[in-house]
Amino acid sequence: PQPVRLEDYRPAPYRIDTVDLDIRLDPQATQVTARLRLARNEGTAAGTPLVLDGDGLTLTGLALDGRPLPGTAYAARPDRLDLFSPPAEPFDLEIVTRLDPDSNTALMGLYRSSGTWCTQCEAEGFRRITYFLDRPDVLAVYTTRLEAPKHEAPVLLANGNPVDAGEIPDSDRHYAVWHDPHPKPSYLFALVAGDLARVTDRFVTRSGRPVDLAIYVEHGKEDHCGWAMESLKRSMAWDEAAFGCEYDLDVFNIVAVSDFNMGAMENKGLNIFNDKYVLADPDTATDQDYAHIEAVIAHEYFHNWTGNRITCRDWFQLCLKEGLTVFRDQEFTSDMRSRPVKRIADVRLLKSHQFPEDAGPLAHPVRPKTYREINNFYTATVYEKGAEVVRMLKILVGDDAFRSGMDLYLRRHDATAATIEDFLACFAEASGEDLTQFALWYEQAGTPQVTASSRYDGDARTFALTLSQQLPPVAGQGEGKPAAIPIRFALIGPNGQDMAYDRTSGGAVSGDVIHLTERSQTIVFSGVSQRPVPSLLRGFSAPVRLETDLDPHDLLFLTRHDGDPFNRWQAVQELATRDLVRLSAAAQAGEPLRPDAAFVTALGEILDDERLDAAFRAQALHLPGEADIAREIGRNVDPDAILAARTALRKAIARAHGDACAETVLDLAPTTVFSPDAASAGRRALKNLALGYVAVSGLPDAADMVIRQFDTADNMTDRLAALTILVHEGIDGADEALAAFRDRHARHALAIDKWFTVQATRPADATPAAVRALTGDEGFDWGNPNRVRSLVNAFATGNQTQFARTDGAGFDLVAEAVLQLDERNPQVAARLLSAFRSWRALEPVRARRAEAALHRIAARETLSKDARDIVDRCLQ
């Protein structure tokens, strides 16, 4: 199939005003009757053929304006329906299709999860239900009638508001009718039918509209929905306060299902969730799970405006809804929790997921120009870098113009399908700024490299700062143009305070932001009384790699004095990274590993600094991961050397601060009943990080402390942290702990997922064989994406040394899994396959092994479009 190109976009020749669906649910023979009201669009010549999308469909009936169509008037194939000469005037088309939900293992379109019928239509799943103009710029008003056996599916849900329900006389069947008054694209269609429990609540919007809220889950899980419901109500209130967005239906329903390809889906009025992002109780969910649930519930809810009321003109504009909605959920979390800690967590995620994507063969612009399979573009670049671009826009235009621009966007484009140009025009108008250069952030792939150097002249009392930028060549993209990069900054004086200066020349400074717009700029600050240390890129004001000429002294100074908590953390990370890169090179060369003592001392100060909140200290003490170090090294990567370096530094820290860490563990031991709030979670994070150091400190009772925590933990966060340390450090008792964990949580699949992940991420020679064995565990199921991700994806992305073994056993394991999965669920297979994306950065022996595994995958002729797209790009 030909790639789809942004430049080829044309509006559809026909529009669909209303869609009436009548769906009779049956496990293997569901009948879907779709009545579409169609009309020619302006500019479409009368008689222009109508081509509807399909995917694996079986047509069982077709009528035009109430009369069956003769076979000569149309052609039906599984993947398209052609109407050769439609009427010139608006007309009704009735299409009947037959589906087999039970055999739908791709989990796109209509499928069954543990007996519940449910749907996933984004991006192109609606065409697996009926023939349609399955593209996001065709907006219609939907009415959905569902019919199913009452005992199998007492609950019948669809988009919008419930308008009718009843029994079918003389049968065991019943029906429900739902009407959604808001025009929407087909990808937002959803239905759910099953035997589910319901937890209800109520929210009154600021204009007084009462909304019935409900979360539907498997029976017996009702008491695990409280956190999700609280998160939903907070999201609804926050969106009114922060963006003026009010809810617009009488009901808001959330359904949790156990088989789901991604996190959740924002279907209008009927969000469908991976149960992992709904269910929580202290015994089975970690603090991270609680935080994720809060964020994902908010994200899907926020889509009601950014995505649903205003949708995307075409799939190239995906970041219009995703980047913006991620930005919104990040802001929500910042307001609910600690803003700097949230920022640190988001930047960690961006650097560990998006930066490598942007540096390898899968790199693409935030708004791609072409795709072969759109499902492969739900990426960290579209989501996370997309959010960074919105954040920069806010810095650029300022808070007030940002809010006016958003108001304008929401007003002007309501009930339409919009583009990035439409979005940016609102901010240009609200601020009076020219955003032409800024728009390049949507067009150019790759992470800009910013280099900073400075010179202080004591006689002239000037401080000259030179900044330059360069876009590395990635994924076939030519030389880039300079981007508009906002660099938030301060000059810090010897007393640790931000310094004043008289004025600047070089023109690029406004307030605390330097606007880097050229390839290279020098800004001269005058009236600077002493040599300052510049604190650059505060709050990570732009998604760039920053290389400064700050020496270790300056960086240590920043770790102690930077008034911006984010940059304080960044200084720690920079020191750690420099040392880890140096130690990795030493390990690769077989030289002795001697960690930097000054850095180790500085970490001790942070650990002891009670003025810093616990969550922040935990982030500071958490060293860059192995993949982060690999990314910094960039080429000829040897994961074993990296692990050796990181282990050496961890041990040095542990030996220097073992007692302080042990004290921290004791001080922060829980004294009250578990609460998932951010402050308590922060204390647990610090305690568990300290416990990890204790474990490698050589202290005599180290192992006992870890085992004690495992045995006595009253919550999953502490239990899992202890288990991970036991297993990863190979402490005696690890096997018993694994067995105990398994027994305790045997009936709880989401907890067993954690048990899979702990074992899959263990950096030990035996791990590939262990992972293979675990695929035969009774709790494992190749058909369930959560199981696959927690075992196989966790191995591929969270176990650098074992995935990239020199003997190729890790790559082989993952390649086999990809091939096995691909026949069943192409999206999940393609996602797993993308773990290979950084293979070219490996040292030659490992790189050749990876390449061979990729070629084995590529050799399968019947590979899905999804996997073919990824493997081809990886090998390009």
Do 191 and 112 contact (CB within 8 A), yes or no? no
Cis peptide before 123 (omega within 30 of 0): yes
Q: Which partner in ligand B3K, Zn ion, none is near 378 (CB below 5 to 8 A by kind)?
A: ligand B3K
Q: Which partner in ligand B3K, Zn ion, none is near 375 (CB below 5 to 8 A by kind)?
A: ligand B3K
Residue 278 makes contact with ligand B3K by CB under 6 A: no
Q: Which of 236, 262, 393, 665 binds ligand B3K (CB under 6 A)?
A: 262
What is the smallest separation between the CB atom of 316 and Zn ion, expressed in angstroms?
16
Residues 298 to 357 in contact with ligand B3K, rule: CB under 6 A: 299-300, 303, 322
Residue environment code for 314-324, b if the CB has 16+ CB neighbours within 10 A, otherwise e: bbbbbbbbbbb
What is the smallest separation between the CB atom of 611 and ligand B3K, expressed in angstroms?
38
Q: Which partner in ligand B3K, Zn ion, none is near 423 (CB below 5 to 8 A by kind)?
A: none
Q: Which partner in ligand B3K, Zn ion, none is near 686 (CB below 5 to 8 A by kind)?
A: none
371 vs 710 by CB, closer to Zn ion: 371
What is the smallest separation between the CB atom of 217 and Zn ion, expressed in angstroms?
22
Do 280 and 676 contact (CB within 8 A), yes or no? yes
C-alpha span between 514 and 467 (Å, rounded): 10
What is the smallest separation between the CB atom of 832 and ligand B3K, expressed in angstroms?
15
What is the smallest separation between the CB atom of 152 and ligand B3K, expressed in angstroms?
28
319 vs 627 by CB, closer to ligand B3K: 319
Q: Which partner in ligand B3K, Zn ion, none is near 20 (CB below 5 to 8 A by kind)?
A: none
From 240-248, 260-268, 363-371, 758-766, give the range in contact with ligand B3K by CB under 6 A.
Answer: 260-268
C-alpha span between 286 and 141 (Å, rounded): 41
Tell me whether residue 729 is one of the annotated catalytic residues.
Answer: no
55 vs 640 by CB, closer to ligand B3K: 55
Q: Which partner in Zn ion, ligand B3K, none is near 628 (CB below 5 to 8 A by kind)?
A: none
Residue 133 makes CB contacts below 8 A (sequence gap 6+) with: 12, 14, 16, 52, 53, 186
375 vs 790 by CB, closer to ligand B3K: 375
Residue environment code for 253-289, b if the CB has 16+ CB neighbours within 10 A, otherwise e: bbbbbbbbbbebbbbbbbbbbbbbbbbbbbbbbbbeb
118 vs 264 by CB, closer to ligand B3K: 264
Residue 147 makes contact with ligand B3K by CB under 6 A: no
Catalytic residue, chosen from 266, 300, 331, 373, is 300
325 vs 715 by CB, closer to Zn ion: 325
Residues 453 to 482 in contact with ligand B3K, rule: CB under 6 A: none
Tokens of 47: 């008689």
Per-residue DSSP letter, 466: E
Three-state DSSP class for 219?
A: coil
Q: Which partner in ligand B3K, Zn ion, none is near 123 (CB below 5 to 8 A by kind)?
A: ligand B3K
| DSSP conformation letters of 661-729 | HHHHHHHTS--S----SHHHHHHHHHHHHHHHHHHTS--TTHHHHHHHHHHH-SSHHHHHHHHHHHHHT
Amino acid at 488: R
What is the smallest separation between the CB atom of 123 and ligand B3K, expressed in angstroms?
5
What is the smallest separation between the CB atom of 222 and ligand B3K, expressed in angstroms?
25
Q: Which partner in Zn ion, ligand B3K, none is near 295 (CB below 5 to 8 A by kind)?
A: none
What is the smallest separation between the CB atom of 506 and ligand B3K, expressed in angstroms?
41
Q: What angle do CA 55, 56, 59 make, to 5 degrees?
A: 100
Residue the block writes with tokens 């009943």 = 673
How far is residue 727 from each of residues 625, 670, 768, measured CA to CA in Å? Answer: 18, 23, 15
95 vs 188 by CB, closer to ligand B3K: 188
Q: What angle do CA 481, 484, 490 make, to 5 degrees?
A: 135
Per-residue mark of binding to ligand B3K, 207-246 (x: CB under 6 A): ----------------------------------------
Residues 286 to 325 in contact with Zn ion, rule: CB under 5 A: 322, 325
Residue 266 makes contact with ligand B3K by CB under 6 A: yes
Tokens of 29: 């023979």
What is the smallest separation between the CB atom of 299 and Zn ion, expressed in angstroms?
5
How far is residue 340 from each of residues 345, 550, 762, 830, measured CA to CA in Å? Answer: 9, 23, 31, 34
C-alpha span between 424 and 503 (Å, rounded): 32
Applying CB under 5 A, the site for Zn ion has a residue count of: 2
What is the smallest separation between the CB atom of 379 and Zn ion, expressed in angstroms?
12
180 vs 322 by CB, closer to Zn ion: 322
Q: Which of 123, 148, 362, 606 binds ligand B3K (CB under 6 A)?
A: 123
From 44-52, 144-152, 274-282, 297-305, give the range in contact with ligand B3K by CB under 6 A.
Answer: 297-305
How far is residue 863 from each of residues 88, 819, 866, 875, measured CA to CA in Å? Answer: 42, 8, 8, 15
Q: What share of the chain is helix, strand, coil (3-state, %, to 5)?
A: 45, 20, 35
C-alpha span between 64 and 87 (Å, rounded): 9
Residue 809 has φ and ψ, to the nearest 5°, of -65, -30
324 vs 572 by CB, closer to ligand B3K: 324
Residue 375 makes contact with ligand B3K by CB under 6 A: yes
251-257 vs 210-217, strand pairing mode: parallel
CA dihedral (506, 510, 515, 518) positive or negative: negative
How far is residue 477 from each of residues 233, 480, 666, measured CA to CA in Å? Answer: 45, 8, 54
Q: Which of 14, 315, 332, 378 binds ligand B3K (CB under 6 A)?
A: 378
Cβ-based burial of 102 (10 A; exposed 0-12, middle 13-18, buried ≥19): middle
Q: Which partner in ligand B3K, Zn ion, none is near 122 (CB below 5 to 8 A by kind)?
A: ligand B3K
Catalytic residues: 300
| Contact footprint for ligand B3K (CB under 6 A) | 122-123, 262, 264-266, 299-300, 303, 322, 375, 378
| Contact footprint for Zn ion (CB under 5 A) | 322, 325
